[in-house]
């Protein structure tokens, strides 16, 4: 069966095996289930070489043999790394740990990065991912999600939504500062303003915290409502995330027992864990990332750490991921991670808008100021090349949006209409909204000097949480044709301050987004008959 399917794969690719751009390492029992995925990738123009599993050294030799032709870009490992005597076993590599052992981690790091390093410099040269299937049901679930994700014609607003969940630090001044900065950068500088972000924060004093007793419900709701990325920042263990601490007790955030509650309304999101152990796929017990990826309604891909990750290294990697996705506009998940890792090992360099350099420079300065061993910071970044692994398909295509150009005034008055002209390459259902700038609230944040656990008090938590994540002052939806369109939007009387006009178009086969800054002033003051000024 193996030789027959390999022959079919290479013949269909219409080229010699050495010209392949993708290597699939796959046990023979999995090959029939892989056929729809292979057919899909070939239709996209990929040339695929299939190789059996073996020892880690044999797998690496197979990959390097195909890479000699100079066209290889992707490696997909299909199989479980933990069951060494199982015929479906596809081993990983164990790299020596140098820095994270100081944080209590194991002396070796499970990593697939080793297979993607073609010249032994520890930097990946190929985009690599793993489908950690222990049986056919696991594999079919993962492949079904991948194919549904890429063939979906649902271009609703979930494609611009990024949902973040953050735990509270408690590591110490350096770690907590870096963790807080990472979260803030995700919400402000890192994510373009044309994207919609939603924050769920595990601090009971924050307006972004729902009632702590139902924090896990809110986390699952954020997954199920649909989003491009579902991101967790904070503590992690092999099978669960951190807990929300309140005076006198704590509450669960998310764990593998919650996976059965996942039911996304749209295509499965990509899950990113900026946390320890969540992708420890080599252990005897299923890690959280594996359980989620293997589930029928789980994420389409999981990015996470196999051992103890470190806040500075994770923050630096996060800036690289955002740069590769939003600024460099890479179109596959594997290429996003590959290039983010390669830039992670280097000093920060300026991008077109300088965002990556600014963020990395802030992170580096903060880390140097508080680190007990500043000389280890570069080593910490490099160690994250091994620590962070992709459980998923490195060829997974990310639909990059078209751009909507907006001609609009930079100033408006509350209570008036604002006129804007949209220029779009695509037609579809358009939403235009006036929102307050990210990081600001439409209403004053509640003050919580003490924690009160009554039903009435907790209902205030939920209302404040919903309000904090609702930046919209006004909104309208309508069908729009390609080209230029004139639109008028009402500015509510309560609107004020630094705002943005945010536009999204859901087309038949694609989507587009854009944003424009606008400052909303209070109504002009006019004197009444007695000469007293009043607004109008």
At residue 120, does pLDDT exceed 60? yes
- 166 in the same domain as 287: yes
Q: Which of 391, 419, 436 is the last residue of a domain?
A: 391
- 411 in the same domain as 379: no
DSSP 123-145: S--SEEEEE--SSHHHHHHHHHH
Q: Which of 391, 421, 456 is the last residue of a domain?
A: 391
* Mean per-residue pLDDT, 98-104: 92
* Mean per-residue pLDDT, 69-97: 93
- 380 in the same domain as 282: yes
Residues 6+ apart with CB under 8 A from 170: 176, 235, 245
- 173 in the same domain as 106: no
- 406 in the same domain as 288: no
Interval 458-492: pLDDT, tens = 999 999 999 999 999 999 999 999 999 999 999 99
- 359 in the same domain as 443: no
Q: What is the CATH number of the domain that holds 230?
A: 3.40.50.1460
Residue 78 covered by a domain = yes
At residue 334, does pLDDT exceed 70? yes
Residue 149 covered by a domain = no
Residue 141 covered by a domain = no
* Domain range enclosing 100: 2-129
Confidence band for 83, pLDDT divided at 50, 70 and 90:
confident
pLDDT of residue 439: 83
Q: What is the CATH number of the domain that holds 467?
A: 2.60.40.1930
pLDDT of residue 179: 58
Residue 532 covered by a domain = no
At residue 441, does pLDDT exceed 50? yes
Place of tokens 């994420």: 299
Of all residues in the chain, the percent with pLDDT exceeding 90 is 77
Residue 148 covered by a domain = no
- Distance between CA atoms of 116 and 100, rounded to whole angstroms? 22
Residue 43 covered by a domain = yes
Interval 26-79: pLDDT, tens = 999 999 999 999 999 999 999 999 999 999 999 999 999 999 999 999 999 999
* Mean per-residue pLDDT, 430-446: 93
- Distance between CA atoms of 451 and 2, rounded to whole angstroms? 62
Is pLDDT larger for residue 377 or for residue 143? 143
Residue 211 covered by a domain = yes
- 186 in the same domain as 91: no
- 95 in the same domain as 185: no
* Mean per-residue pLDDT, 331-336: 98
- 364 in the same domain as 216: yes
Domain count of the fold of the chain: 3
- Distance between CA atoms of 432 and 487, rounded to whole angstroms? 9
Residue 144 covered by a domain = no
Range of lowest pLDDT (137-146, 160-169, 311-320, 355-364): 355-364
Q: Which of 356, 391, 426 is the last residue of a domain?
A: 391
Most confident of 310-319, 362-371, 376-385: 376-385
- 427 in the same domain as 314: no
- 409 in the same domain as 385: no
At residue 375, does pLDDT exceed 90? no
In terms of C-beta distances under 8 Å and separation of at least 24 residues, what long-range contacts does 240-246 make, across chains too? 240/288, 241/167, 241/275, 241/278, 241/288, 242/167, 242/168, 242/202, 244/167, 244/168, 244/202, 244/204, 244/209, 244/212, 244/215, 245/168, 245/170, 245/202, 245/204, 246/204, 246/212, 246/451, 246/453
Q: What is the CATH number of the domain that holds 99?
A: 3.40.50.10390
- 306 in the same domain as 176: yes
At residue 353, does pLDDT exceed 70? no
Interval 159-205: pLDDT, tens = 999 999 998 766 555 555 555 556 666 556 789 999 999 999 999 99
Of all residues in the chain, the percent with pLDDT exceeding 70 is 86
């Amino acid at each position: 069966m193996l030789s027959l399917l390999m022959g079919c794969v290479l013949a269909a690719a219409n080229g010699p095996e050495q010209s392949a751009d993708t290597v699939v390492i796959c046990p023979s029992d999995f090959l029939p289930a892989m056929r729809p995925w292979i057919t899909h990738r070939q239709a996209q123009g990929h040339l695929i070489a299939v190789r059996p599993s073996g020892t880690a050294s044999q797998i690496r030799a197979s990959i390097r043999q195909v890479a000699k032709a100079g066209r290889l870009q992707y490696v997909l490992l299909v199989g479980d790394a933990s069951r060494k005597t199982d015929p479906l076993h596809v081993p990983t590599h164990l790299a020596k740990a140098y820095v994270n052992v100081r944080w209590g981690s194991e002396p070796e790091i499970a990593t697939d990065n080793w297979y993607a390093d073609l010249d032994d410099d520890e930097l990946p040269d190929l985009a690599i991912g793993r489908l950690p299937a222990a049986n056919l049901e696991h594999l079919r679930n993962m492949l079904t999600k991948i194919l549904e994700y890429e063939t979906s014609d649902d271009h609703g607003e979930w494609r611009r939504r990024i949902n973040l969940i953050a735990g509270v630090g408690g590591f110490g001044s350096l770690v907590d500062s870096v963790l807080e900065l990472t979260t803030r950068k995700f919400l402000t500088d890192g994510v373009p303003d044309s994207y919609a972000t939603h924050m769920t924060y595990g601090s009971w004093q924050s307006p972004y915290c729902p009632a702590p007793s139902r924090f896990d419900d809110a986390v699952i709701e954020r997954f199920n409502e649909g989003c491009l990325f579902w991101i967790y920042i904070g503590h992690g263990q092999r099978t669960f995330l951190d807990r929300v601490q309140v005076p006198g007790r704590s509450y669960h955030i998310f764990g593998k027992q919650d996976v059965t509650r996942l039911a996304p309304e749209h295509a499965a999101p990509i899950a990113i864990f900026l946390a320890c152990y969540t992708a420890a796929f080599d252990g005897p017990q299923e890690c959280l990332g594996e359980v989620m990826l293997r589930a029928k309604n789980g994420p389409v891909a999981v990015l996470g750490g196999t051992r103890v990750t470190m806040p500075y290294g994770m923050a630096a990697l996060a800036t690289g991921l955002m740069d590769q996705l939003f600024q460099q506009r890479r179109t596959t998940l594997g290429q996003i991670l590959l290039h983010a890792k390669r830039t992670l090992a280097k000093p920060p360099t300026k991008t077109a808008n300088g965002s990556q350099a600014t963020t990395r420079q802030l992170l580096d300065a903060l880390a140097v100021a508080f680190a007990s061993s500043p000389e280890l910071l570069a080593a910490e970044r490099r160690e994250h090349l091994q620590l962070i692994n992709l459980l998923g398909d490195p060829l997974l295509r990310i639909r990059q949006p078209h751009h909507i150009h907006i001609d609009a005034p930079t100033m408006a008055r509350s209570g008036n209409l604002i006129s804007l002209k949209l220029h779009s390459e695509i037609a579809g259902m358009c939403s235009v909204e006036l929102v307050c700038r990210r990081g600001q609230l439409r209403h004053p944040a509640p003050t919580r000097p003490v924690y009160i656990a009554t039903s009435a008090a907790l209902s205030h938590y939920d209302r404040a949480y919903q309000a904090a994540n609702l930046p919209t002052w006004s909104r309208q939806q309508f069908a729009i044709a390609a080209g230029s369109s004139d639109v008028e939007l009402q500015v509510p009387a309560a609107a004020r301050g630094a705002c943005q006009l945010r536009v999204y178009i859901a087309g038949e086969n694609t989507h587009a987004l854009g944003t424009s800054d606008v400052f909303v002033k209070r109504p002009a003051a006019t004197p009444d008959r007695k000469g007293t000024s009043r607004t109008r």
